[in-house]
């Protein structure tokens, strides 16, 4: 399994499409910071990433003091740091005063239609929720706004058609419509990350930039494929087809840590995933993530999470709804 697929498996994304909008110019709406609406979108979520798909027409997105970005049909924009932003038919318009967000989200996907009667723009809004630490790895180095056009992807036509179909199904009495939309939100998010990797420009840093680099990407793939292996920098450099000094320098530049520091961090995230989602003994989990003794594993885990594995697991179990713990 490649590093991106493995990371997404551990991240365990939870997604939904929550607004299907038809706006007519002039129009403008304000989206608040993601952390302020996370409890309404996905109760208990540590991190929420909001995205918008422009299904038809065109519009602008305004974020902070940055220059407005024009969007056209097929564009998807997501906000890795959860910044507040405006979607608008033209820059500078005041946002509409709508109802309370909890009322807007009472039924999903909510159908919205408003504006001044001019040119039509159709938006589909969704979100992905995931663990904060894993999101920090996956989204590290990304700008406040990521924009790609799925119509440039071989999966684009299928994705857009599937979203339209699922939105229609969500209005029908047949069960399962919202489940289909949730899965499509995840697929759309993953496709955005893949397209962004392919479009990477010179000078970008972060985990996705590292994954797209020939040397660092080879090292990341090896670490994710065999995290329990007793890696040394020399062995990892040999696997990546380079020298230790080149690997260490490029890894630090792109990922922001040394290869061995990254390996420890990834092992701890894998361990946390196993602790919270299985009843496997600590000794087995320690072995699965590359530690020969419980003591060494507990010491490393405490450094990362501030508590020993057993206590951390108990705390996670108290926070989980019944039925989410599986062997």
pLDDT at 173: 59
What is the Cα–Cα distance from 259 to 236, expressed in whole angstroms? 8
Q: What is the mean pLDDT of residues 24-34?
A: 92
Cβ atoms of 213 and 250 closer than 8 Å: yes
**Helical segments of 43-153, H only:** 101-104, 132-138
Per-residue exposure over 81-90, b if at least 16 CB sit within 10 Å of its own CB, e if not: ebbebbbbbe
Q: What percent of the chain has pLDDT over 90?
A: 50
Can you give the pLDDT at residue 264?
Answer: 96
pLDDT band at 106; cut points 50, 70, 90: low
Residue 320 has pLDDT above 70, yes or no: no
Average pLDDT for 278-291: 94
d(CA 194, CA 148) in angstroms, rounded, equals 10
pLDDT in tens, 289-310: 999 999 999 999 999 999 999 9
pLDDT over threshold 90, residue 40? no
Q: Which residues contact 307 (CB under 8 A, 6 or more apart)?
A: 301, 315
Q: Which residue has the higher pLDDT, 288 or 132?
A: 288
Measured distance CA(61)–CA(78) in Å, rounded: 11
Q: What percent of the chain has pLDDT over 70?
A: 91
pTM summary value: 0.84
Looking at every residue in the chain, the average pLDDT score rounds to 87
- Mean pLDDT, residues 27-43 taken together: 86
E strands in 37-109:
47-56, 58-62, 69-72, 75-78, 85-88
For the four alpha carbons of 70, 73, 75 and 78, in that order, the dihedral sign comes to positive
DSSP-derived secondary structure for 247-302? HHHHHHHHHSS-HHHHHHHHHHHHHHHHHHH----HHHHHHHTT-SSHHHHHHHHH
- Model confidence at 100, pLDDT cuts 50, 70, 90, reads low
Output the pLDDT for position 159.
79
pLDDT above 80: residue 11: no
């Amino acid at each position: 399994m490649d590093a991106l697929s493995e990371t997404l498996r551990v991240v365990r994304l939870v997604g939904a499409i929550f607004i299907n909008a038809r706006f007519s110019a002039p129009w403008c709406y304000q989206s608040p910071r993601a952390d302020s609406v996370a409890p309404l979108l996905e109760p208990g979520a540590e991190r929420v990433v909001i995205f918008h798909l422009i299904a038809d027409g065109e519009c602008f997105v305004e974020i902070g003091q940055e220059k407005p970005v024009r969007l056209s049909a097929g564009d998807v924009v997501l906000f890795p740091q959860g910044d507040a932003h405006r979607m608008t038919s033209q820059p500078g318009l005041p946002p509409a005063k709508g109802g309370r967000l909890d009322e807007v989200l009472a039924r999903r996907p909510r159908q919205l239609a408003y504006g001044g009667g001019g040119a039509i723009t159709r938006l589909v809004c969704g979100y992905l929720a995931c663990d904060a630490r894993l999101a920090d790895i996956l989204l590290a180095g990304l700008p406040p706004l990521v924009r790609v056009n799925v119509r440039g992807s071989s999966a684009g036509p299928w994705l857009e058609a599937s979203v339209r179909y699922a939105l229609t199904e969500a209005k029908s009495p047949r069960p399962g419509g919202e489940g289909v939309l949730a899965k499509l939100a995840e697929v759309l998010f993953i496709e955005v990350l893949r397209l962004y990797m392919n479009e990477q420009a010179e000078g970008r840093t972060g985990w996705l930039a590292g994954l797209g680099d020939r040397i660092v990407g080879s090292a990341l793939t090896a670490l994710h494929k065999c995290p329990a292996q007793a890696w040394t920098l020399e062995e990892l450099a040999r696997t990546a087809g380079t020298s230790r000094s080149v690997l260490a320098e490029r890894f630090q530049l792109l990922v922001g840590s040394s290869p061995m520091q990254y390996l420890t961090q990834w092992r701890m995230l894998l361990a946390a995933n196993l602790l919270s989602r299985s009843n496997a003994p600590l000794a087995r989990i320690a072995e699965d993530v590359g530690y020969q003794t419980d003591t060494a594993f507990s010491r490393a885990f405490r450094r990362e999470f501030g508590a020993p594995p057993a206590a951390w697991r108990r705390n996670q179990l108290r926070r989980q709804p019944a039925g989410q713990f599986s062997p």
